[in-house]
Amino acid sequence: KKRIAVMTSGGDSPGMSGAVRAVVRQTIASGCTSFAIYEGYQGLVDGGDMIKEMSWEDVRGWLSEGGTLIGTARCAAFRERWGRLKAADNMVEKGIDALVICGGDGSLTGADKFREEWPGLMNELVTSGRRKPEEVLPYRHLNIVGLVGSIDNDLSSTDATIGCYSSLQRICQSIDFIDATAFSHQRAFVVEVMGRHCGWLALMAGVSCGADFIFIPENPPSENWEEEMCSIIRRHREMGKRKTIVIVAEGAHDRQLNHIKPDMVKDLLSNRIGLDTRVTTLGHVQRGGPPCAYDRMLSTLQGVEAVKAVLEATPDTPSPVICIVENKIVRRDLVKAVELTQNVARMIEAKRFEEAMKGRDAEFEEYWHAFNITTATDKSDMLLP
């Protein structure tokens, strides 16, 4: 019977606790032993009390909790060989032979490297005298399964990451609140949203809130963007709009990759159009808080699937990442998913923006088009040909 550990890593996201709950319960339901590793890779390196056997009751009430109740951390030691050797030793100590990791692409890549290195680590535990050969014998292979937890929705191969819809919901609520005060004073607001290098949150918030203009890294505005933005917003005002909302993704830049900062946009709206303008940085408000219904379902379905993937794995199966594609929970090759994600980053760096738009799984072009249609006050407002 397998001994399966679950951990969360990288930035927390709403739904991570639900994923842990599902993994723990499906593990126990499958007759296996469940462990949680606290504080991400740091807990794996530290071992001892940081690796805790979990019971059914331990995760009661976790489904609706925000963040991750087993903690997460950025861990320098795990990037070093000695740190991974210590982590491997701790796993042998607890008899753990499978690891489910819920995190972003960096955390998942780290996990797969660990799996690759595993036989070498076992060997080193023996040659260094830390373990007897018979102690490591049952642990010749390590199963790794990834779950994608991130508010950014930046991993290729899946339509949604655990947490992205909760975050989008919080952004929409916040913009609704801002709308009321903006309307009252006829003000403009520049709202900065998270997403790191991915514009999913900004684009979807633009569509969902009917923003006047958005900036995302995958589709930077034209060379003449300052005038273009001002003329669109001027026209919206002439049509009778009392408020203006511009959404800036934190990773936004122009076509030369110069960072577009919310303050730059604010100055333009104030100085060129004369709008009383404020900047709101939503920050970590959009990352914390309870998961929405979708993330509760996604984390539960995917947590269950992760344990099934562990139980069905053979030594030759590449590490899977649990995805959702067209509303179906599916397994994809973890390494390939990370590679595809990094390809999009490279397209942006190389200023191949059209390809970057196509490279994002979530039909960015369709959403971009819909945004432009719905926000336009007439045909000439549309940013697409």
Site residues for ligand F6P per CB under 6 A = 11, 104, 150-152, 194-196, 250, 287
To the question of whether residue 21 is assigned a binding role by annotation, the answer is no
- CA-based diameter of the chain, in Å? 79
Q: With beta carbons less than 8 A apart as the criterion, state whether 288 and 165 touch.
A: no
CA pair distance 148, 234, nearest whole angstrom: 41
DSSP string, 65-100: --S-TT-----SGGGSHHHHHHHHHHHHHHT--EEE
**Shorter beta-carbon distance to ligand F6P: residue 27 or 40:** 40
Residue number of the CB atom closest to ligand F6P: 194
The minimum distance between CB 210 and ligand F6P, in angstroms, equals 23
**Shorter beta-carbon distance to ligand F6P: residue 51 or 151:** 151
To the question of whether residue 150 is assigned a binding role by annotation, the answer is yes
Q: Hey, is 253 helix, strand or coil?
A: strand
CA pair distance 295, 22, nearest whole angstrom: 12
Q: What Cα–Cα distance (Å) separates residue 324 from each residue in 32, 112, 161, 245?
A: 25, 20, 8, 31
Q: Which residues are catalytic?
A: 152
CA pair distance 136, 108, nearest whole angstrom: 24
**Shorter beta-carbon distance to ligand F6P: residue 90 or 341:** 341
The minimum distance between CB 301 and ligand F6P, in angstroms, equals 22
**Which sign does the torsion angle of CA 130, 134, 138, 140 carry?**
positive
To the question of whether residue 296 is assigned a binding role by annotation, the answer is no
The minimum distance between CB 252 and ligand F6P, in angstroms, equals 12
To the question of whether residue 11 is assigned a binding role by annotation, the answer is yes
The minimum distance between CB 179 and ligand F6P, in angstroms, equals 23
Q: With beta carbons less than 8 A apart as the criterion, state whether 102 and 6 touch.
A: yes
To the question of whether residue 360 is assigned a binding role by annotation, the answer is no
**Shorter beta-carbon distance to ligand F6P: residue 43 or 195:** 195
To the question of whether residue 106 is assigned a binding role by annotation, the answer is yes
The minimum distance between CB 144 and ligand F6P, in angstroms, equals 21
**Shorter beta-carbon distance to ligand F6P: residue 87 or 151:** 151
Q: What is the phi-psi region of residue 57: left when phi exceeds 0, alpha when psi lies from -120 to 50, beta otherwise?
A: alpha
Binding-site residues for Mg(2+) sit at 105
Binding-site residues for ATP sit at 11, 74-75, 104-107
Binding-site residues for substrate sit at 150-152, 187, 194-196, 250, 278, 284-287
Binding-site residues sit at 11, 74-75, 104-107, 150-152, 187, 194-196, 250, 278, 284-287
